[in-house]
Structures are given as C-alpha cells and as structure tokens.
Chains A and B, each alone.
Chain A
Amino acid sequence: MLTVTHFTVLSAILFSLGALAVLIRRNPLIMFMGIELMLNAVNLAFVAFSRFMENMDGQVFVFIVLTVAAAEVAVGLALVVAIFRARDNVDMDEIDLLKG
C-alpha cells in the first residue's frame, strides 16, 4: 500500500539529485536539467499531498510551476546561446571575469 510518505521520500530523493546536478556539473545545460528535476520533484510532492489530503489546490500549483519552469528554460537557453555566441564556450568554470 502506497502512503504519502513514499511519495514524500521519492520527491526528496529526486530533489536532492537535482540539487547535486546543479552543484557538481559545470555545463549550464546539465545544470538547467538539475533545476528542472528539482521543480518536478516539487510537483510530485504537490500532487501527492493534494491526492492524500483531497485538496485540489496542490494540482493547480503544479500548473503554475510547470509554466514557470518553461519560462525559466526559455530565459536560460537564451542566455546560454548569447554566451556561446560571445565566447564559443559555456563551461561555468571558465566564465570568471567577475571575482574579487
């Protein structure tokens, strides 16, 4: 029997994997994917809570989060393309003009 705890734990694992991807990987595209994974882990938690508490609000939030995620991808890809055009390299370790 699946309980809400199973979903909560799964969403926590997915969220941590996404966060690790952002922290460890240096390719911005992979880092986006990590952020997307984090957002989708949140979506899973919302849907699970909504289902087990019989409160529809959680499902509505998922729609909002999906839209926000799409907007973030659009902005992020545009930035990657702009940087790639300017310097032919998008590795985050080599983008280091600003420091000090």
Chain B
Amino acid sequence: MKEVKMKPIWYFVGLILLVMGGIIFLNGIYLLYSPPITQKVLSVLHPDIWWGGLMVLFGGMMFLISRKQTIE
C-alpha cells in the first residue's frame, strides 16, 4: 500500500486564510449593496472588502505554492 505523506503546515494556513478571506470578501460585497441599519465606525472604508481580498491573495498564494509539497 502506498504510504501517505504529510502535507506541510503552509498548505493548511493557506487553505484557512483562503476560505475565511473569501467569506469576508463576499460578505463585504453583499454589505456594500445591502448596508446594515447600524453602521460601525469607519464602515465607509469597507475594510471587509479590501482586508478579505488581501487574505484571499495571501492564502491563495500559500495554498498554491504548497499544494504539491509533502513532509518526509
């Protein structure tokens, strides 16, 4: 039977940032068109959109780089 090799930690870090960043980014887009009644301080800057986007970029890069790597 083929031995399963362990994925590096960077694979999991990339994946979780990608997933969380994606949810935050998409929710930010939704809130842009359907703003909540109670606004947070500086909500006009839409930090969820650019911060979520940054997480998608960073997480996506880590995920892509490490997806084929394994630990000996």
A binds B: no
Instruction: Write the residues of chain A forming the contact surface with B, with a CB cutoff of 8 angstroms.
Output: none
